[in-house]
Structure 1
Amino acid sequence: MELKTVKTPHVPVRYFEGGKGEPLVFLHGAGGIQAGDPLFLKLAEKYHVYAPLLPGYGDSEECGEIRDMLDFTLHTADVVEALGLKDPILVGHSMGGMIAAEMAAIAPASISRLALICPAGLWLDDHPIPDLFAMLPYEMPQYLFHDVEAGTKLMTAGVALDDPEWLKGFLVMNARQMGMAGKILFPIPERGLVSRLYRIKAKTVLIWGDGDKLIPPAYAHAFKKAIAGAELVSIAEASHMVTQEKTDQVAAAISKLG
């Protein structure tokens, strides 16, 4: 995968690109994305994949002009336009799913195929979403992975969570990324999306780990009810990071869009 830069009206945007075929834009979650992300690599076997980094992620510049949900949505639309893409398949995971859903709701004629992987964006009082911003690193794997031990190794590349050097690097990176993500996810990941979902006209696939402990499957049914014609693909023995735990099944579900 190649890391490139594209200019938008407000800020240069770093993005990963790889594969050949129909264009697909992948929007990452609050944890960001790396060149070796397994879902990215799998999708690149079939599609020409573009995975833009939000400002503040990776080595990208920060952008003070992005302040609220509308700014995130329009910024990402600017990225798609700057890449010269017309109606790509739009895929978003978690926070990225929240942004993708907003894009499809605000400009329904521009997005015809949409895959939302355990997206954020709604709030159910009976199923509160845990506060990711209050978690210490060792607490995160139990919410993100079905197999907590295996997930911890994936998250840390085998380094102990209490290793001082790893922890220092993680906290610096996390503070930068969460500073951006917090604009739409803190204190709760809800910015009125529920009132706009009816506007989505895209063929939509919802993909959920049936053991998701961060955004419980109750939210999958709320999204399905709100988006006309949406199909729900529930994946067993997977949690919020279903993209890493069940990569092939997630890719197969996305392929329903073409």
Structure 2
Amino acid sequence: METKTVKTHHAPVRYFEGGKGAPLVYLHGAGGVTAEDPLLNKLAESHHVFAPLLPGYGDSEECGEIRDMLDFTLHTADVVEALGLKDPILVGHSMGGMIAAEMAAIAPNDFSRLGLICPAGLWLDDHPIPDLFAMLPYEMPQYLFHDVEAGTKLMTAGVALDDPEWLKGFLVQNARQMGMAGKILFPIPERGLSQRLYRIKAKTVLVWGDSDRLIPPAYAHAWKKAIRGAELVSIPEASHMVTLEKTAQVAAALARLG
């Protein structure tokens, strides 16, 4: 994947681009994404992938003008327009799924295909979502991965969670990223999206890890019920980071969009 920059009204946006085929825009979750991300590279085998970074992620600039859900949605729509894309396949993971769904609801005629990978954005009182912002690094893998030990190694590139240098870098990066993500995810990831999902016209595929402990599978059925005609693909032995744990299965599910 190549790293590029595109200018928008609010700020220059860094994005990853690679592959050939139908255009696909991938919106990352609260943990961000890198050019080496397995799912991005798998999708690039069959699609022309564009993966913009939100301000504050990676080496992108921060942007104080982006303050609420509408700002996030319109900013990302501006990115799609600046890239010159018309009706790309729109895919989002977790927080990115929340933004993608908002885009498809606000502009239902602009997006005909939508892939949502364990998206945030709904709230069920019987199934509260854990507070990601209150977690210490060593607590995160149990919510993000089915195989916690293997997931911890993926998350830290094999470095121990209590390694001072890794922890320092993680905390600095996490502070920047969560400062942006918190605008729509804190204190709870609910910004009225449930009232707008009926507007989505896009062919929608939902992808969920069966053992997701961050946004449990009960939410998958709530999303399926809320979006007319949505198809749900449940992936066993995978949690919230199903994109890393079961990359090929996620890509196969998204292939149903074309």
TMscore range, shorter length: over 0.9
Partner of 1:64: 64
How far apart in 2 are the matches of 1:176 and 1:244?
23
Task: Give the Cα–Cα distance (whole angstroms) in 2 for the partners of residues 37 and 224 of structure 1.
Answer: 27
Consecutive unaligned residues in structure 2, runs of 5 or more: none
Are 1:135 and 2:153 matched, yes or no?
A: no
Give the TM-score normalised by the residue count of structure 1: 1.00
Match of 2:109 in 1: 109
- Find the aligned partners of 2:105 and 2:225 in 1 and give their Cα distance: 15
Give the TM-score, by structure 2 length: 1.00
Provide Cα deviations, 1:7-48, integer angstroms capped at 9, x if missing partner.
Answer: 001100000000011100000000000111000010000000
Instruction: State the Cα RMSD in Å.
Output: 0.3
Whether 1:7 and 2:12 are equivalent positions in the alignment is no
Does residue 218 (structure 1) correspond to residue 222 (structure 2)? The answer is no
- Listed as ranges, the matches of 1:143-154 within 5 Å are 143-154=143-154
Instruction: Give runs of aligned pairs for residues 195-206 of structure 1, distance below 5 A.
Output: 195-206=195-206
Distance 1:158 1:248 in 2: 22
Q: Helix, strand or coil: the match of 2:215?
A: coil
Tell me the secondary structure at the aligned position of residue 187 of structure 1: coil
Give the Cα separation in 1 of the matches to 2:207 and 2:21: 22
Residue deviations 1:121-156 (CA, integer Å, cap 9, x gap) = 000000000000000000000000000000000000
CA deviation string 1:169-207 (max 9, x = no partner): 000000000000000000000000000000000000000
Paired residue total? 258
The separation in 1 between residues aligned to 2:139 and 2:39, in whole angstroms, is 24
Fraction of identical pairs, as percent = 88
Cα distance in 1 for partners of 2:2, 2:185 equals 29
Equivalence for 1:248: 248
1:51 matched to which residue of 2?
51
User: Partners of 2:202 and 2:119 in 1: how far apart?
Assistant: 16
The separation in 2 between residues aligned to 1:41 and 1:85, in whole angstroms, is 20
Match of 1:159 in 2: 159
